[in-house]
A and B are shown apart, each in its own frame.
Chain A
C-alpha cells in the first residue's frame, strides 16, 4: 500500500466519525408521519415560495446570491438598467429621420395612373377609362342642355 493510500485510509477512518452523528432520539419515528401529515394537509402547496422558485429557476437564486455577496455587482447592474431605461426614453422622444425621408419621397412620387388604381382595386376585369376623355363622349348621344327654370309653375 502506498503512502497516499495509507493517508486515504487514515482519512477514511476519520470520516467514520460522520456516521456517528445522529439526530435526536425518536426523530425518525416522527419523520414519516410528518411527511404524511404535510401531504394530507396539502402544505406542500404553501411551501416557501422562494425555495420553489429556486427549484424551477436556480439561475435566479444564483443571481440573487451573487448580488448579495457583491454589492458592487448589484450597483453596476442597477446602473446598467437605469442607462437602458434612459436611452429608451431618449430614443422614443427623438424624431425619426428615416420616417421623414419616406414622407418627403412620397410627396415627390408621380400620382398613379387611374387604370393602375382600377386594376389594383378589383379582381374583376374592369375596362380602363381613357385618361383625359369624358364619359359622355362614349355614350354617342349629342348632349343637349336646357335652361333651368326655378320659378314655380302657374306664376
Chain B
C-alpha cells in the first residue's frame, strides 16, 4: 500500500480513475478513499429503500465489498460511482424480494435541521401544535407510504426526489431509458400523493 494513498489529506485530489487503477492493483488505501467518497450516498439510497438502518448498513458494506471483488471486471464505461451504485441497487432489490412482507422499520432520527426547514415547519404546524411529535409522526407516515410503493417506483423516488439525481443518471443506474424513469416517477408520485393525502392538504 502506498503512503500517498493512505494519507487522507492528499486523497481528495486524486482523480477517481487513478484511485480505481490503484485499487485494482490491490491498494486497499485507494479503495478506502473511494468508499469514503460515496459511502453516504450509497448508504442513503439503501436506507431509503429499506427504511431500516441495520439492513442498510449490511447491504451498503456488502456492495462495496462486492465492488472491490469485481473491480477487475470494471471496464470504465461508466463512472465508478454509477457502477457501485448499480451494485448496491441490485443487492437491495434482491434483498427486498427475499424479505417481502417481513419488513420492519428501524428508522434513523431526524436531524435538528428539519425543525428549521420552513417547508416542513409549514406542514407540521398546520397538522399539530407539538412540533416534535409532528415530525416523528410525519416521518413514520412518509416511510409507510414509501414502503407501499413497488421497489422500482420507490427507487426512482429515492434517487430523484430524495437524492436529487438527474433522470439520465437514474436511467444508467437502473439500466433503462429516460422515458421509463419519467413515467415511473410520475406514477410513483401519484401513488404517494394518494397515500399521504391527509398531509398534503
What is the bound-complex CA distance between A21 and B39, given in angstroms?
15
Secondary structure of the B contact surface, majority rule: helix
What is the bound-complex CA distance between A18 and B95, given in angstroms?
21
Secondary structure of the A contact surface, majority rule: helix
**Docked-complex contact B199 and A14, CB < 8 angstroms:** yes
**Binary per-residue interface labels of chain A (58-92) against chain B in the complex, 1 for a CB within 8 Å, 0 otherwise:** 10011011000100000000000000000000000
**Docked-complex contact B119 and A54, CB < 8 angstroms:** no
**Docked-complex contact A17 and B98, CB < 8 angstroms:** no
The interface size of chain B toward A, counting residues with CB under 8 Å, comes to 56
**Docked-complex contact B196 and A65, CB < 8 angstroms:** no
Given A11-B189, A35-B64, A17–B139 Cβ distance below 8 Å?
Answer: yes
**Docked-complex contact B68 and A55, CB < 8 angstroms:** no
**Docked-complex contact B65 and A14, CB < 8 angstroms:** no
**Docked-complex contact A23 and B192, CB < 8 angstroms:** no
Given A7-B193, A7-B200, A11-B192, A17–B28 Cβ distance below 8 Å?
Answer: no
B53 in the interface, Cβ–Cβ < 8 Å?
yes
**Docked-complex contact B65 and A8, CB < 8 angstroms:** no
Within 8 A of B (CB), among A1-39: 7-8, 10-24, 28, 31-36, 38-39
When C-beta atoms are compared, the residue in chain B nearest to A62 turns out to be B97
**Docked-complex contact A19 and B162, CB < 8 angstroms:** yes
- The one of A12, A17, A31 in contact with B142, judged by C-beta atoms closer than 8 angstroms, is A17
Q: Quote the shortest CB–CB distance from A60 to chain B (angstroms).
A: 9
What is the bound-complex CA distance between A45 and B122, given in angstroms?
50
> Which residue numbers of A lie inside 8 Å of B, CB to CB?
7-8, 10-24, 28, 31-36, 38-40, 44, 47, 50-51, 54-55, 58, 61-62, 64-65, 69
Closest 10 CB pairs of A and B: A20-B114, A13-B119, A61-B98, A32-B35, A21-B108, A44-B65, A10-B200, A18-B162, A20-B110, A15-B161
